[in-house]
Amino acid sequence: MTRTLAPDDAGIAEAARLLAAGELVAFPTETVYGLGGDARDDRAVARIYEAKGRPSFNPLIVHLPDLAAVERIAEVGPKARILAQAFWPGPLTLVLPLRAGAGISPLVTAGLDTVAVRIPAHPLAQRLLQAFGGPLAAPSANPSGRVSPTRAGHVLEGLSGRIAAVLDGGACAVGLESTIVLADPDPVLLRPGGVPVEVLEAALGAPLATGGDAGKPTSPGQLASHYAPEAAIRLEALEARSGEVLVGFGPVRGRLSLSESGDLVEAAARLFQMLREADRLAGPGGRIAFAPVPDTGLGRAINDRLRRAAAPRG
């Protein structure tokens, strides 16, 4: 069911066509194979999480062809610019402030106001990005919790039948993921990877602090940067209590709905938008109730996010 596309003009054109239609295509980068989807398309991004079976919405890396394309969606600060000039295209990911109106799906950033971006060096990734002409969200193309794929065959072992196609570019040269750095105001290493820390420090002329994995926030400071509604949130609600804005799902009808047809892909695609919309409708001191969402497939990631939104904050 998952097609293998040859690394030629026809294969790249077909991959770009599938991506433009909202399908998922795995493609080679110099680090590992990425599971690509249109970063502007909520449903395509929801399907990435679904295909990987991720139990939570960790933010994804956006792949772009050049610095001009990066600057259209994010702000490149002074230290980010030094690193971009030294290491792009290449196995480095920079976490940058997201521009307002950038058009990136909030599912890509998991509701953060920053975005992780990378310009891959692999010629096929470059040609695909040019042909597609837009930002590609791409985590490693493996089921959640399994090792990252460095050959098209590895991608098929884990994801065959779950994605439209894989563009076969042979083996990846680096074989481990990109290094992730939050560059400005003070550079912090978020994930070690393809560019060694010493090499980054040499380019910056200063030592690099080491942070946690901001994609899996552990400290309250990191959590606070996730979009947290002002309103108090009640889960597993079957009807609205007085003064509550109910966000329904399937048969539970509310003022809003994650998906009236009970479709988990649609619910995931709309989740962050519904959190904001319900918060706005609830107003200051307001309350939001969410209908139950089944805890299977994408529902696990949706429930993980809702539980965090509902958790008491300090």
Catalog residues that contact ligand TXA under the rule CB under 6 A: 29, 31-32, 34, 58-61, 93, 95, 109, 112, 114-116, 118, 138-140, 177-178, 180, 190-191, 213-215
Residue with tokens 């083996």: 171
Residue 213 interaction partner, one of ligand TXA, Mg ion, none, beta carbon < 5-8 Å per kind = ligand TXA
For residues 75, 78, 80, 84, the Cα torsion angle rounded to the nearest 10 degrees is: 100
Does position 93 interact with Mg ion (CB under 5 A)? The reply is no
Residue 11 interaction partner, one of ligand TXA, Mg ion, none, beta carbon < 5-8 Å per kind = none
Residue 29 interaction partner, one of ligand TXA, Mg ion, none, beta carbon < 5-8 Å per kind = ligand TXA
C-beta of 270: minimal distance to ligand TXA in Å?
20
CB closer to Mg ion out of 140 and 178: 140
C-beta of 181: minimal distance to Mg ion in Å?
17
Q: Which of 71, 91, 115 is nearest to 176 (CA)?
A: 91
C-beta of 238: minimal distance to ligand TXA in Å?
35
b/e 203-215 (16+ beta carbons within 10 angstroms → b): bbeeebeebeebb
Which distant-in-sequence residues (6+ apart) come within 8 Å of 263 by Cβ?
none
- Measure the CA–CA gap between 154 and 152, rounded to whole angstroms: 5
DSSP 293: -
Which distant-in-sequence residues (6+ apart) come within 8 Å of 267 by Cβ?
249, 258, 259, 293, 298, 299, 302
Residue 302 interaction partner, one of ligand TXA, Mg ion, none, beta carbon < 5-8 Å per kind = none
Pick from 140, 150, 178, 179 the residue near Mg ion by CB under 5 A. 140
In contact, 310 and 233? CB cutoff 8 Å: yes
C-beta of 141: minimal distance to Mg ion in Å?
9
Which of these ranges, 21-29, 136-144, 201-209, 253-261, lies near Mg ion under the rule CB under 5 A? 136-144
In contact, 255 and 245? CB cutoff 8 Å: yes
Residue 43 interaction partner, one of Mg ion, ligand TXA, none, beta carbon < 5-8 Å per kind = none
Binding residues for Mg ion, per CB under 5 A?
Answer: 140
